[in-house]
A and B are shown apart, each in its own frame.
Chain A
């Protein structure tokens, strides 16, 4: 057969296919309408004609919708409401077949090339395109064929949360209960670790954090925003009354009015002021799900608009990002370390675990519910001794036992350096390793031994700073020097409150220097406390929420690393390059300038570059499109935000939020978002991806799940996706935002792109809800983190980072440092500024700018406040909102009918001030005054006080920003000063306060 004949045959086939498909389309739609009344209702929504055709008009068919009935006729007609034009028959066939089989690459190609065009009024075109997609989703949309039906009539669905996945039991469109997931007999056998003659296997179930167990009460919270709202004294066409933000009440408006105001404001502001004028931020943590997450839906939406964004700081691990990274690399993880197979190595080979500013029992690592708890119990069973270094006798220490050492906040580096001093003095470190694998040890040694400044950094030296007896530090150093030790910093490795103090960089640096001295990566010597690094299958490909979802943002999310070759989607880019350093948002808005170093992930040295606001050629921010209420409560010196909202430089503020709380109350228009129980999504338990690659290695099982739409959205609330779509529609962005897909369609596309599709069918996943990835056989487990480095071989752990150009010698050999060695004297810092006294090339102890050494301030405010991540709420999630979490007596304290945030104080400090258990106290300093309920405890030494960060609501008793706050907004008190001058990091745990009994509001 000649080539020509062959081509002709293909054309004929394609044309027959197209003709056949379009011929049957009207019949199919009518048949579906007959079977499903809801679909019939959908058909009735538009009376329009649609011309589907080949561009050259050689074939066409007109589809007519009238009163819910569909007819079709062959031919080309010129008066259709909507036109769907394919470039040729071949493209039409490929796109249609692709849609049928869930392969969207031909669709994306055709759309990008203009080979598939949809013309017509937005509303009509959009309706038709979504109607076609509904055909492929009819079993879910109209038959509700998903979830597991139980004998008692309840349906069991699955969702994901920030604290573990849940079964969701539903009856009559109401959530009955949520529970952790107990696996069934079809789920795979878990892994085992045999250590010291004992075999350990995790149970076949997931766990839930308290804030996951409280979710039903959050769905049905009385603080849910159920309708679009407008501030009563906000008139977009008249007086806006900026100064009344946070004071005035709200009135219900229609979605139509809300969308009209928001879309018109976006256009007005952008046309009047130009690029940069619209500003968007979210909290760090959205409701769970890879498609609905802010790094997916919001990212795509604001890329479509063009917006100023926030330059983020890694506020859970500042010290590592701005400090430790210079010694051992890891910029892709913002200074975090590898986790691989450390659980097994620790259990088998280590003789001791030091938990330093590490409380995974409270923080769940991050997202990992109570997954690590059982491993901490195994440590007890193995009899591995543990030590806890933390000013607070934290929950991990309470559960595990072991010696508690409580340095004064911000002095941890001194304690660590004194340990190094003992090792150097006594020669109890791995000299061979230091010689072969490290650089610049002599420089650090000179400082530690006091050769440079005449002050040997002995245990006795540190006692004056830390308050910890020299005897204790020396005993710890001696034991550590003799043993193989795992060092856990923060809940997940490389986190920790101590890294959020003034010069907390030095603590994190000291941590990595200590482990390097003992032989990082040798058996039993590594980072971690069994929270991270379980022997799960890292090769099964399913990305995390930070890997971009359907954002199409290959630059601003992890999509460029993870999704680009797997999930076809049209790319999206933010054309505006104006950023505001997150810690300076209020200053940027109020003073119209801000500047900070900007942490990049591609290299270590990129953090020396700065973000300057406003960016050249950009407008200062005029409109703030905020998601949720959590900056107030989580950001240092939160009162700044209250002041910012009330200034006139923000012409318009819209807040898209689930609940009325925090800064939501400062918006002009509030758009009601629904929870993840009320929308479709897909995700994996505790898998963020992005900055924390393979986060799921905190789990006992890789549990990947569909997130069913368990119930209909409450009131008039809508999913974030649908809200963004609705705003996008108003600006003509509908196809650009979603490619015409619904969130359900995107979830299905996402599924198709992952390894999940190879293991479980879509219908099975829809029914069962989750899939457990079988662990690999023991002989295929990943190599232990950094073991390749200790052995001097090529990096063999399963990750793409660092980038090839970050190796200055041969690729894949050594660490991400200029020398490839562990650098005690960091060449990156030396090159940047060898005389930066706030961050020298070697790790030093620098007394805090707000601590016991700052005499004048300390005399006035003699209590050191630490405010670590909360145990019972996940930042603001779970707190307030009248949720069940508030009933936890260690979360809030009921006094006179009000649930006060808890403030913890040593009995002695309380006695000195005439305070007693259950008092309402006013905690104050120059930055603010906050009311709390007083808990007396021996969990904190005298002179130090403790209260978790992140209450959800903000309740000033007078003028917002300038009055006593009642709901426990501890971050009103914390400093917004940078951790060190050349870093954009926070230091909230360097905070001096005083406390007095609250005399009442009349005072």
Chain B
């Protein structure tokens, strides 16, 4: 049985918010019952990119984590309100519009915060993956169709086929995955891991010069985690370091100069070490 799966690639998201706008365009002022009633104009967002920054100047990074209903196979909302939540055969999770009415508790049932309360209609609502359009033959929900690089994409295939894709593309759930979400994320490290960056230089006479020939090693308890050459600015950036990794050691070497050794405690933030000077 083929089902819908969704992939969100953080590296392809340019932060245009077209997904949120397309969702509003489709659902504000339009009633798609029995799938869902109108979305509230401003107060609700069924899909939304959240801007997230790492690092600091000049090593700042920006990404967007786009969240919507995760269409979980093991949906907490369905567990709590089995009558009000419909799991379709194609994997899409829909709130029963009649039964969601007046049920504010549904909002709290979603650990992702993606069921929201429509104050005007007094009903719980969420993303339907545009099931009303998909059932009419559309290939993509509105958010995906409006996404310039398809940072959002839908895959319609057997679950086992998607498992392969998950493995090949290193797709991850935003939480631990126990809810079996059908929305998986690519390049999630931009959101949940850290980097360490630094600039290396030496004095050429009295001119501070980028150490473009330097090497950098990342060590942990004497074990080599990563080794790299710096770029033409004499700079390095080591990414995908898990948060709270503890104390790591950066070892920088340049022929003819003393190595530079620095310990860095990795907690939750990325780290720019500034400019480190090699000395004879």
Contact = CB atoms under 8 A, between A and B. Distances in A.
A370 B148 CA distance: 6
B67 interface: no
A180 B14 contact: no
A177 B28 CA distance: 10
Interface string B3-24: 0000000001011111011101
Nearest to A887: B42
B14 A361 contact: yes
Nearest to B206: A460
A404 B237 CA distance: 13
Interface stretch (B91-99, B164-172, B208-216, B252-260): B208-216
B231 to A, nearest CB: 8
Nearest to A891: B17
A887 B53 contact: no
A807 to B, nearest CB: 41
Interface stretch (B56-64, B68-76, B116-124, B155-163): B56-64
Interface string A386-430: 000000010100110101111000000000000000000000000
A974 B63 CA distance: 30
Contacts, number: 142
B57 A472 contact: no
Contacts of B233: 403, 472, 475-476
- In this complex, the interface size class of chain B, counting residues with CB under 8 Å from chain A, is 35 or more
Given A472-B210, A475-B212, A476-B233, A209 B28 contact: no
B21 A403 contact: no
B212 A887 contact: no
A470 B28 contact: no
Interface stretch (A212-220, A489-497, A546-554, A741-749): A212-220
Contacts of A843: none
A114 to B, nearest CB: 52
A890 interface: yes
A210 B18 contact: yes
Interface residues of A, number: 59
B234 interface: yes
B55 interface: yes
A487 interface: no
A208 interface: yes
A159 interface: no
Contacts of B25: 177-178, 213-214, 216-217, 884
A475 B142 CA distance: 46
B129 to A, nearest CB: 16
A939 B60 contact: yes
Given A395-B14, A475-B234, A938-B55, A180 B145 contact: yes
A708 to B, nearest CB: 18
Given A207-B148, A213-B22, A220-B29, A471 B58 contact: no
Given A177-B25, A469-B208, A403 B58 contact: yes
A490 to B, nearest CB: 18
Interface in A357-389: 361, 369-370, 373-374, 377, 385
Nearest to B54: A938
Interface string B34-62: 00000001100100101101011111111
A872 B234 contact: no
A471 B275 contact: yes
Given A374-B149, A884-B24, A405 B58 contact: yes
16 contacts: A177-B26, A179-B145, A210-B17, A214-B25, A216-B25, A217-B28, A373-B149, A395-B62, A882-B41, A884-B41, A885-B21, A887-B24, A888-B17, A890-B17, A890-B51, A941-B57
Q: Give the top 6 A-B pairs by smallest Cβ distance, nearest first.
A: A370-B148, A398-B62, A475-B210, A213-B21, A479-B232, A938-B60
Interface of A: 151-152, 176-180, 182, 207-210, 213-214, 216-217, 220, 361, 369-370, 373-374, 377, 385, 393, 395, 398-399, 401, 403-406, 460, 469-472, 474-476, 478-479, 872, 882, 884-891, 906, 937-941
Interface of B: 12, 14-18, 20-22, 24-26, 28-30, 41-42, 45, 48, 50-51, 53, 55-63, 136, 142, 145-146, 148-149, 199, 201, 207-210, 212, 231-235, 275
